[in-house]
Amino acid sequence: MMRTIMHIDMNAFFAAVEQQSNPALRGQPVAVVGSQQRTIILTSSYEAREYGVKTGMTLYEARQKCPGLLLVKANNRLYTHVSSQIMLIFQDYTPLVEISSVDEAFLDVSGSLHYFGSARRIAYLIKSRIKTRLGLTCSVGIAPNKLLAKLASDLHKPDGLTLIVPEMVANLLKDLPIEEICGIGRKTTQKLNQLGVFSCGELGRYPVKKLKRQFGIVGEKLVLMGRGIDPGAVLSPEQEAEVKTIGHSMTLRKDISLREDVARFLAQLAEMVGRRARRYGMSGRTVTLTIRHSDFSTYSRQQIQATPIHRSEEIYRAALHIFDRLLMTLPVRLLGVRLSNLQYLGQQLPLLPEERRREQLTESLDRVNDRHGEFTVMSGSLLTVKGKGSYVISPAWRPEGIRNIGVR
């Protein structure tokens, strides 16, 4: 049966939200950045894009292009809040909403077409509600599958509404550059170009066998992409696969070389990871440490625990242990801690009294932190990292912007 899939993409989301909440930014070239230094452009307003400011640019580059650029530090809590309001609007038109990121969603409206008249009409209703309630615009793509819906929403920006019906597909894809397809990135484009494949039409006609030799399993998918075929279903949050990893990383304001400095940041990262894991009710057996040196060379090393863990202290100890086995030759620019091999706590063995006591302490710490933000308190053993210290860690201790990590 023919499906009707809708992809909704908010236009310049972070920048548009900022312009909406601060009228002084409206009509101005605005860029949202992660922090003040060692950051990149996360999103820019359409006014800034006129000057050539793009996502991913360095601050320096962006300022060169647009000297009057107004910078705003990302307010992830605000974006998350606005995002949830938008996602709620979608729910009024179908229960099949797949939230693919903070500013994008797929809707399978096949079952609600008769109720609202048409997909186009649903799109109009959604667009106008988002516009009047939140002052934001979005681009909507409507197509028989997710791949084409996503493509359609990209065709007209901002404030677009694009419909792709089956009869249009072959003609549309015939000369479309392969890199326009979601899932074909820089490297794949390069490789395909070397094979003489530039358009989706060419990709769709390419012998599957040859592509499989070059790309493995992905080869089969690539041919289907070239033909605009995508059997993937729209998955609501309940249908989606469980989270597989939980991690945090941060680029430090300044490179560091001392073990005790590394240890301090690892303690913070472990706390963020552990707290999130506990909130999800999950434990993991694999701890991965990521290090980026001053020359941007990046390594990751992992270690498997005998049993699944979720306490910050255990994650911290594992991360530090991995670090201690590496020889550090260059200053450290970025540190990351990740927990994987996850499973729900539910089926764990009954806890020993001592473990139970620690669990209760952990839970109460989490409650305090949830109320007052990260790092208000930490378990005692983490503090020994600094030698001594009070039970409450002063705000000055935490690097700027840390609270914004992970909210997005």
Partner DNA sequence: TCTGGGGTCCTAGGACCC
Q: What separation, in Å, do the N-terminal and C-terminal C-alpha atoms of the chain show? A: 36
Taking CB under 7 A as the criterion, the residue among 3, 26, 38, 398 binding DNA is 38
Closer Cβ to DNA, 187 or 388, answer by number: 187
Closer Cβ to DNA, 112 or 184, answer by number: 184
Q: Is 303 in the site for DNA (CB under 7 A)?
A: yes
Catalytic residue among 47, 50, 98, 104: 104
Q: Is 278 in the site for DNA (CB under 7 A)?
A: no
Alpha-carbon gap, residue 121 to 21, rounded angstroms: 29
**Contact range with DNA by CB under 7 A, out of 155-163, 260-268, 291-299, 367-375:** 291-299
Q: Is 39 in the site for DNA (CB under 7 A)?
A: yes
Taking CB under 7 A as the criterion, the residue among 18, 98, 103, 313 binding DNA is 103
Residue 281: C-alpha distances to residues 276, 278, 346, 348 (Å): 8, 5, 8, 11
- 338: Cα separation from own chain's centroid: 15
Per CB under 7 A, which of residues 214..273 are in contact with DNA?
A: 215-218, 241, 243-251, 272
Is residue 104 annotated as part of the catalytic site, yes or no?
yes
Taking CB under 7 A as the criterion, the residue among 159, 175, 295, 355 binding DNA is 295
Burial class (CB in 10 A: 0-12, 13-18, 19+), 97: buried
Per CB under 7 A, which of residues 340..359 are in contact with DNA?
A: 341
User: Least distance in Å: CB of 356 to DNA?
Assistant: 27
- Using CB under 7 A as the binding criterion, the count of chain residues that bind DNA stands at 60
User: Least distance in Å: CB of 394 to DNA?
Assistant: 21
Amino acid at 195: L
**Length of the chain in terms of residues written:** 408
User: Least distance in Å: CB of 391 to DNA?
Assistant: 25
Closer Cβ to DNA, 119 or 402, answer by number: 402
Closer Cβ to DNA, 304 or 361, answer by number: 304
**Contact range with DNA by CB under 7 A, out of 210-218, 311-319, 352-360, 376-384:** 210-218
Alpha-carbon gap, residue 47 to 109, rounded angstroms: 34
Alpha-carbon gap, residue 221 to 227, rounded angstroms: 10
Q: Provide the mask over 145-184, with x wherever binding to DNA is found by CB under 7 A and - wherever it is not.
A: -----x------------------------------xxxx
User: Least distance in Å: CB of 272 to DNA?
Assistant: 7
**Contact range with DNA by CB under 7 A, out of 35-43, 80-88, 193-201, 349-357:** 35-43
Write the DSSP symbol of residue 93.
Answer: T
DSSP labels, 20-78: HH-GGGTTS-EEEESSSSS-BEEEE-HHHHTTT--TT-BHHHHHHH-TTPEEEE--HHH
Determine the number of helices (DSSP H) and then strands (DSSP E) in the chain: 16, 12
Structural tokens at position 276: 């999130």
Q: Is 31 in the site for DNA (CB under 7 A)?
A: no
Alpha-carbon gap, residue 184 to 186, rounded angstroms: 7
Cβ-contact 136, 220 below 8 angstroms: no
Alpha-carbon gap, residue 46 to 176, rounded angstroms: 25
User: Least distance in Å: CB of 357 to DNA?
Assistant: 28
By C-alpha distance, which of 233, 6, 7, 14 is closest to 102? 14
Q: Which residues are catalytic?
A: 104
Instruction: Please report, as ranges, the residues that interact with DNA according to CB under 7 A.
Output: 34, 37-40, 42, 55-56, 58-60, 100-104, 150, 181-189, 215-218, 241, 243-251, 272, 276, 285-286, 295-296, 298-304, 334, 336, 338, 341, 405-406, 408
